[in-house]
């Protein structure tokens, strides 16, 4: 799975996340107070204007901190009942119809069927629920004002803050109930859609070892299964009659042999290894160049996507992952290593044959290095390697860092001498206080392995797939809360259609928030907005510097001002795409707890800010006085 942005530990995020939120919200409050006071002074004069501003602030303190939970819940329940009268259940019926006819266009013979099914149910749910909440939140309050149904509410002792919070809470309760029903139905749909079984084609079974086993009266067998859902498996059965339908389409099946009278029957279980939630242990990646010098990145092969860096084949170049916490308690008697490699071929060769590579395990303290496994790459799929605790290496030596005459760090290979062993213990010999290095090298000359830090990890355990599936819907829930917050806030001072357009505009801006921040910080090619416009008009490239002169000076000065303003605007927008965790669930990775905490607190921060802003806008309307 591609992770272009590294997820910060929660404690580290807490050092700056709330601070930025307080800074932005404080700046927004000061700006709102300044402009509100300015308008009041212009309309009523200095003394009366400042007095009116003080009264508004005093009333706001009472409205925001003295709300009645009973009245808020009554208004929320009123919003729910009003939404049900508008036939919200139609969305749920549409969702059921999509699942009923999904078999027509979902191909179970896909190379990755789980990704297909998960992407379908999460995408369908998000589109339906978010569109529904967009219409409800943006149109509900303006329609009530237009039909004067809200006037019957404000004549009662109800605060404007209770009206805004009641609307937001009501729509959240309705959306949460709808999402809960959809998630339960979707889970059953995914599990049943992927469930299948095969039969062992007994005529295909053939012995691969001619030696007889006197205790079991059988020999190891290999064969194939029947074709189901557009695929078949290779079958492997051991002397005890236990076996596997080997990994295909991200899953495998267990096989057990039994005797039914004189007939031998092979019972095949349900697919395993597909509905998983891996908990990966990631390491820190660094590179070695072709002479085994420490390098910041690998070889540049001209790929415009800079996510992966490449390891030169047939040389000493390597990618090195440094892991911590590699202990027998965490990993038991073996080390399960998984990786997803990119491959860059300088010549085609046999395209069906993978590129050869080798995995080295190194003790970072002693330098002991063993060649643990030689393998062939599997492109576009997860390659799983199970390394036993007792490793018999093809080669063993020491890699020790030394400084060359230029002052660069180079790892030099040295023989072990009397310390050499026939076998090495994974935890006793190759780790130091839980620290382990995994070196990856490409063996085929003129070929390259492309790697990024998350492409190779250790798999310690699996979390609950059902719980991970719920986390995927939690991501949609947070997006829903943002849509409701913006929709209700804009509807307090805009008409329904305009509020919808404003909400959609904010969400679209949120998708480009990352680019806006890069542009504001000067991290993009071509300079700021004005400089980029000059390059477009003059057809100048984005790499070379603009010629010195008054035009360039003025453009860069204006850009510095615009970039600061752009940074402020970017901080006011939610990074809407960051709340989507469908890729975690679809690729079988557990959604981390710090992801849930950081995104959840961020969504809560936006919801609180939108509630306060919506209150002040509603307070200024005649109906709220």
Instruction: Annotate 233-275 with DSSP letters as a single string.
Output: -EEEE-TTSEEEEEEETTEEEEEEEEEETTEEEEEE---BSSS
Q: Which of 121-130, 250-259, 398-407 has the highest mean pLDDT?
A: 121-130
Query: In this model, does residue 213 exceed pLDDT 50?
Result: no
Query: In this model, does residue 54 exceed pLDDT 90?
Result: no
Residue 236 has a CB neighbour count (10 Å cut-off) of 16
Residues 553-593 pLDDT 10s? 888 888 888 888 888 788 888 888 889 999 999 999 999 99
Local confidence band at 219 (pLDDT 50, 70, 90 cut-offs): low
Query: In this model, does residue 216 exceed pLDDT 80?
Result: no
Q: Taking residues 326-331, what's their average pLDDT? A: 88
Share of the chain above pLDDT 70, in %: 96
- DSSP code per residue over 160-213: HHHHHHHHHHHHHHHHHHHHHHHHHHHHHHHHHHH-----B-GGG-EES-----
Residues 473-486 pLDDT 10s? 999 999 999 999 99
The CA distance from 286 to 322, in Å, is: 8
Residue of 545 and 579 predicted with greater confidence: 579
Query: In this model, does residue 214 exceed pLDDT 70?
Result: no
Q: What is the reported pLDDT for 211?
A: 52
Query: In this model, does residue 544 exceed pLDDT 90?
Result: no
Contacts of 68 (CB under 8 A, 6+ apart): 159, 162
Q: Taking residues 8-31, what's their average pLDDT? A: 82
Q: What is the reported pLDDT for 625?
A: 45
User: To 10 degrees, what angle do helices 550-571 and 10-44 make?
Assistant: 100
- DSSP code per residue over 360-413: EEE-TTT-EEEEEEEEE--TTS-EEEEEESEE--S-EEEEEEEE-TTS-EEEEE
Local confidence band at 338 (pLDDT 50, 70, 90 cut-offs): very high
Indicate if the alpha-carbon torsion angle 326, 331, 335, 339 is positive or negative: negative
Query: In this model, does residue 102 exceed pLDDT 90?
Result: no
Mean residue pLDDT across the chain: 87
- In a 13 Å sphere around the CA of 590, the CA atoms on its Cβ side amount to 16
- Planar angle of CA 539, 541, 545, nearest 5 degrees: 115
- Which tokens belong to 112? 């990755």
Query: In this model, does residue 623 exceed pLDDT 50?
Result: no
Share of the chain above pLDDT 90, in %: 40
Q: What is the reported pLDDT for 431?
A: 93
- Which tokens belong to 349? 């060769």
Whole-structure pTM value:
0.87
Among the ranges given (383-392, 399-408, 537-546), the one the predictor scored with the smallest mean pLDDT? 537-546
Q: Taking residues 446-462, what's their average pLDDT? A: 91
Q: Taking residues 587-602, what's their average pLDDT? A: 92
Residue 220 near residue 239, CB atoms below 8 Å: yes
User: Tokens 């109930």 label which residue?
Assistant: 177
The CA distance from 597 to 145, in Å, is: 37
């Amino acid at each position: 799975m591609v992770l272009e942005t590294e997820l910060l530990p929660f404690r580290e995020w807490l050092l700056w996340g709330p601070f930025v939120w307080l800074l932005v919200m404080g700046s927004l409050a000061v700006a709102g107070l300044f402009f509100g006071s300015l308008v009041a002074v212009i309309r009523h004069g200095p003394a009366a204007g400042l007095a009116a501003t003080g009264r508004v602030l005093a009333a706001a303190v009472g409205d925001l901190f003295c709300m009645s939970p009973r009245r808020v819940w009554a208004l929320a329940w009123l919003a729910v009942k009003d939404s049900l009268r508008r036939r919200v259940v139609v969305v749920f019926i549409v969702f059921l119809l999509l699942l009923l006819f999904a078999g027509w266009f979902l191909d179970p013979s896909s190379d990755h069927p789980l990704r297909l099914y998960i992407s379908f149910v999460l995408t369908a749910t998000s589109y339906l629920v978010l569109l529904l909440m967009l219409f409800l939140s943006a149109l509900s309050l303006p329609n009530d004002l237009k039909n004067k149904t809200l006037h019957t509410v404000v004549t009662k002792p109800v605060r404007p803050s209770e009206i805004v919070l009641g609307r937001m809470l009501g729509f959240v309760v309705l959306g949460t109930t709808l999402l809960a029903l959809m998630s339960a139905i979707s889970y059953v749909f995914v599990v049943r859609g992927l469930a299948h079984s095969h039969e062992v084609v007994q005529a295909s079974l053939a012995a691969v070892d001619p030696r007889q086993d006197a205790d079991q009266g059988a020999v190891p067998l290999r064969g194939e299964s029947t074709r189901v859902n557009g695929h078949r498996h290779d079958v492997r059965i051991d002397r005890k009659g236990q076996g596997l339908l080997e990994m295909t389409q991200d899953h495998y099946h267990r096989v057990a042999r039994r005797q039914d009278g004189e007939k031998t029957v092979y019972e095949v279980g349900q697919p395993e290894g597909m509905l998983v939630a891996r908990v990966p242990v990631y390491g820190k990646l660094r590179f070695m160049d072709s002479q085994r010098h420490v390098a910041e990145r690998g070889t540049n092969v001209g790929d415009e996507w800079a996510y992966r860096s490449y390891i030169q084949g047939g040389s000493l170049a390597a990618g090195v992952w440094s892991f911590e916490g590699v202990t027998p308690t965490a990993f038991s008697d073996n080390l399960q290593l998984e990786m997803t490699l990119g491959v860059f071929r300088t010549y085609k060769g046999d395209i069906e044959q993978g590129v050869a590579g080798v995995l080295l395990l190194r003790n970072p303290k002693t330098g002991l290095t063993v060649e643990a496994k030689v393998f062939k790459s599997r492109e576009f799929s997860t390659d799983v390697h199970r390394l036993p605790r007792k490793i018999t290496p093809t080669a063993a030596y020491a890699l020790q860092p030394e400084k060359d005459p230029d002052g660069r760090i180079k790892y030099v290979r040295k023989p072990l001498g009397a310390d050499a062993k026939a076998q090495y213990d994974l935890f006793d010999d190759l780790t130091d206080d839980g620290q382990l290095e995994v070196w990856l090298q490409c063996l085929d000359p003129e070929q390259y392995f492309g790697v990024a830090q998350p492409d190779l990890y250790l798999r310690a355990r699996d979390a609950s797939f059902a719980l991970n599936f719920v986390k995927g819907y939690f991501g949609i829930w947070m997006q829903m809360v943002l849509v409701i917050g913006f929709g209700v806030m804009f509807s307090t001072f805009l008409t329904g259609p305009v509020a919808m357009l404003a909400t959609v505009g904010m969400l679209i801006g949120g998708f480009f928030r990352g680019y806006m921040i890069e542009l504001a910080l000067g991290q993009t090619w071509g300079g700021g907005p004005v400089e980029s416009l000059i390059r477009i008009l003059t057809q100048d490239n984005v790499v070379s510097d603009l010629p010195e002169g008054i035009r360039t000076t003025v453009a860069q000065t204006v850009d510095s001002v615009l970039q600061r303003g752009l940074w402020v605007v970017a901080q006011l927008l939610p990074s809407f795409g960051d709340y989507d965790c469908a890729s975690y669930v679809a690729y079988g990775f557990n959604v981390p707890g710090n992801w849930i905490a950081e995104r959840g607190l961020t969504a809560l921060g936006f919801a609180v800010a939108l509630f306060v802003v919506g209150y002040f806008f509603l307070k200024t309307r005649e109906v709220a006085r």
